[in-house]
Amino acid sequence: MTTPPTAASGGVVTDSPRPATNKVAVIETMTTTPTPNQNQTQNQPTPAAEPPVCIQAREFNSWYGDFQALHGIELDVPTNRVTAFIGPSGCGKSTLLRWFNRMNDTIPSARASGTLDLHGTDLLSTRYDVVDLRRRVGMVFQKPNPFPKSIFDNIAYGPRLHRRYTRSDLAELVEQSLRRAAIWDEVKDRLNQSALGLSGGQQQRLCIARAIAVGPEVLLMDEPCSALDPRSTAAIEDLIRDLRHQYTIVIVTHNMQQAARVSDRTAFFYEGRLVESDETERIFTTPAHRETEDYVSGRFG
Amino acid sequence: MNDETPQNLAMLVDRGEPRSQSRRRAFDRGFLVTCLAITAIAVLALGVLLGSILIEGLPGLRWSFFTEYASRDASKAGIRAPLWGSIWVASICAIVALPIGIATAVWLEEFAPKNRITAFIRLNISNLAGVPSIVYGILGLTLFVRMFGLFGPIQAPELEIGGRLYAIYYDTMQEPIRVPAEERGVAPVLKTGDVGFVQEIEEGADGELIFTDRWTPVTLTIVPEDEDAPEGYGIIEAWQAEEPADFETERPWYYIQFPLGQSVLAGGLTLMLVVLPIVIISSQEALRAVPGSLRTGSLAMGATKWQTTRKVTLPAAVPMIMTGSILAMSRAIGEAAPILVLGVALFITDTPSSLMDSFTVLPMQIYNWTSRWQEDFRALAATGIIVLLMVLLAFNAVAVLIRQKLQRPLS
Ligand SMILES: Nc1ncnc2c1ncn2[C@@H]1O[C@H](COP(=O)(O)OP(=O)(O)O)[C@@H](O)[C@H]1O
Ligand SMILES: [Mg+2]
């Protein structure tokens, strides 16, 4: 595969072959935010080493008006891994996800306290540039929401917001984004047709292509498959597995098998609290909490 | 007990007295017939109206009807002046009302905070849409035509912009010569070598001389009183050079005076007042019809609120905004009351060529013709109505076309 001209800045995310970049990313992050955990990584750089923390929540609370939706969340989202958020409806998964890219700013009643760091910088700070944050932290929604524009313009929309491209660079960027989202072959002959003519599953992959076209580090997916048929769901899951070594992915899902299939870590939420968060395998085999076990085995929720 | 429940339920269901099927069917049919009858009455009334107008007006629908001005002789009268007046007024109305209306809608829907003040504004825009248009006519009269008398009376405006003032002299050939002047009533000091303008004259088809709108520059020669003046253009005797015959303002299309008087600009702005609430409300509805998920999707990519509005929300809403705007404009074209209130002249024998020219509009002319007692003018009114209806029909057709061609699903 050729190296696409990604819009990534900061040298953390590129589309080049993974292992080398991974090392670079580790070293870079260490020089900026050394933590005991990462020092350990330096001492023993084995493949099984803990990846650096991408998003870190500490004593994080969130409210809608007087209603507290999240209570004291303590969570580490590892870099270039897939983290699944599970839990019954209304437990606050989407709320937390929307804080990761500050989409909650658009809800007037939403407030938060505590710290939420992206690579060691407080992303809740009013000084944090939301536009840049959202470029670095992309989002895919439950219902595919392509713009009523052509397929090409859907992908080119984000890049054009942030930079000026020559025509050929933009075409290349669009192609590589669509290839990355495994939809290029299906749409390459109709780039100028409306994106609304695509099937639901294709639309969702288009939305993923649109999100990665601006070169994000993190992809947030809020129940990306719940509006799709099983076949499209499988395609998206394949795609997530494919992307996981280049992007930090957080996925909200109600589908236990899906969480088990695609994620490296799983966080179980219940009534606004993070009950536990661990290796996905551990959550599904030997969870530390009774509620987790009941939920993943389908006894409630 | 538990076993008996289903049976109990069935018994309870059967206990109700059966309704007569035939009566229900009869009622159904009766309702259908009533609806058809009422619809038929409405369609019939419309048909009779249209039919009588067509019978009375169609014979008068000749090409000359479009090219002739108003006349006291019904057989020579046409609608050239009101047709062009309507075009001018509607264009001015569109140019002013659409940007203001759409911008207001965008602000209210996309940017305005939801608080008591904006709720009050929203409510009152809806109220304004229901205000009778004659009220806007009165508002237009004080606001635009008279401008509260701030700039003096209409006949002697105190502020003029964009006009060119000329003093008019006559040379020894008795040709009028225009000389640029600074101020009305103050004669410019003329010297030999100054430039003046003489009107170009053309020979008409039947040999008569026609004064055109074109003026050619000539070099002036001022001859002293005691000398014999030679013959020629541009030669002015000194005693005549001291006082010009008259002053005249040449009005390019952008010439504006304050107060606006009964001008096309005042008419267009008054109609703007009438349609602005309609444009705002229909644009608001168009924006509201754009799914929120598109805005969220755009914002989540790092677009600013303005980028989102400019590149996603507005383009998605444009077909509906255009449809609403065209319908609002067709309302503006059909309005007679607000224009009537402005007190515009009824007998216009020229088409507007500047913003300050007098005008009349189609509904006004039709109203004028219907109120005459001669049969011939009634027929003219019918022909005028046909033209007006054709214009309105064309507008509505365009709106329907846009709705069908451009309006695509948004999600
Ligand atoms: N915009 C909002 N305004 C007020 N309350 C909200 C809003 N969004 C979510 N909530 C409430 O916050 C809680 C968590 O919601 P959410 O994060 O959407 O849950 P989940 O995604 O886990 O189903 C729910 O009780 C919900 O009713
Ligand atoms: Mg949710």
pLDDT tens string B229-266: 777 777 887 778 888 888 888 888 888 888 999 999 99
B chain contacts of residue A106, beta-carbon cutoff 8 Å: 296, 299
Residue with more model confidence, A30 or A85: A85
B300: in domain? yes
Verify that B196 and B131 share a domain, yes or no.
no
Counting from 1 in the atom list of ligand 1, the atom nearest the Cα of A95 is 17
B239: in domain? yes
Measured between CA atoms, the residue of chain A closest to residue B304 is: A131
Q: At residue B298, does pLDDT exceed 90?
A: yes
- Tell the residue nearest (CA) to atom 1 of ligand 1: A107
Give me the number of domains chain B comprises: 2
Counting from 1 in the atom list of ligand 1, the atom nearest the Cα of A92 is 17
Residues with CB under 5 A from ligand 2 (ion): A 94
CATH number at residue B360: 1.10.3720.10
- The pLDDT value recorded for residue A48 is 57
Say yes or no: CB of residue A104 within 6 Å of ligand 1.
no
CA A258 – ligand 2 centroid, Å: 16
- Tell the residue nearest (CA) to atom 14 of ligand 1: A92
Is A9 an interface residue toward B (CB < 8 Å)?
Answer: no
Is A141 an interface residue toward B (CB < 8 Å)?
Answer: yes
Q: At residue A128, does pLDDT exceed 80?
A: yes
Distance CA B15, CA B35 (A): 35
Q: What would the mean pLDDT of A137-151 be, rounded to a whole number?
A: 94
pTM of the model: 0.81
Most confident of B37-41, B67-71, B374-378: B37-41
CB-nearest to B302 from A108, A147, A214 is A214
- The pLDDT value recorded for residue B225 is 76
- The pLDDT value recorded for residue A111 is 94
Verify that B360 and B278 share a domain, yes or no.
yes
Q: Please name each of the domains of chain A with its CATH number.
A: 1-44 (no CATH), 53-296 (3.40.50.300)
**Of A17-31, B119-133, B175-189, B357-371, which range is least confident?**
A17-31
Q: Which domain holds residue B375?
A: 65-150+261-406
Verify that B352 and B228 share a domain, yes or no.
no
Verify that B317 and B361 share a domain, yes or no.
yes
- Tell the residue nearest (CA) to atom 16 of ligand 1: A92
- The pLDDT value recorded for residue B170 is 86
B27: in domain? no
Verify that B292 and B219 share a domain, yes or no.
no
Verify that B270 and B347 share a domain, yes or no.
yes
- Tell the residue nearest (CA) to atom 6 of ligand 1: A64
CB-nearest to A131 from B296, B304, B312 is B304
The answer to whether the Cβ–Cβ distance between A106 and B301 falls below 8 Å is: no
Kindly report the nearest CA distance between residue B400 and chain A, in angstroms. Answer: 21
Selected residue of A123, A145, A155, A223 to mutate for chain B interface (largest B Cβ count, 10 A): A145
B43: in domain? no
Verify that B145 and B274 share a domain, yes or no.
yes
Say yes or no: CB of residue A80 within 6 Å of ligand 1.
no
Verify that B197 and B324 share a domain, yes or no.
no
B354: in domain? yes
Verify that B213 and B124 share a domain, yes or no.
no
Verify that B129 and B234 share a domain, yes or no.
no
Say yes or no: CB of residue A64 within 6 Å of ligand 1.
yes
Q: What would the mean pLDDT of B394-408 be, rounded to a whole number?
A: 85
Is A216 an interface residue toward B (CB < 8 Å)?
Answer: no
Last-in-domain residue among B195, B218, B250: B250
Is A255 an interface residue toward B (CB < 8 Å)?
Answer: no
Most confident of A146-160, A283-297, B338-352, B368-382: A146-160
B170: in domain? yes
B chain contacts of residue A147, beta-carbon cutoff 8 Å: 294, 297-298, 312, 316
Verify that B219 and B315 share a domain, yes or no.
no
Kindly report the nearest CA distance between residue B111 and chain A, in angstroms. Answer: 12
B175: in domain? yes
Last-in-domain residue among B203, B226, B250: B250
Last-in-domain residue among B250, B269, B293: B250
B58: in domain? no
If you average pLDDT over every residue of chain A, what do you get?
84
Verify that B190 and B107 share a domain, yes or no.
no
CA B207 – ligand 2 centroid, Å: 87
Say which amino acid occupies B39: T
Is A154 an interface residue toward B (CB < 8 Å)?
Answer: no
- The pLDDT value recorded for residue B3 is 56
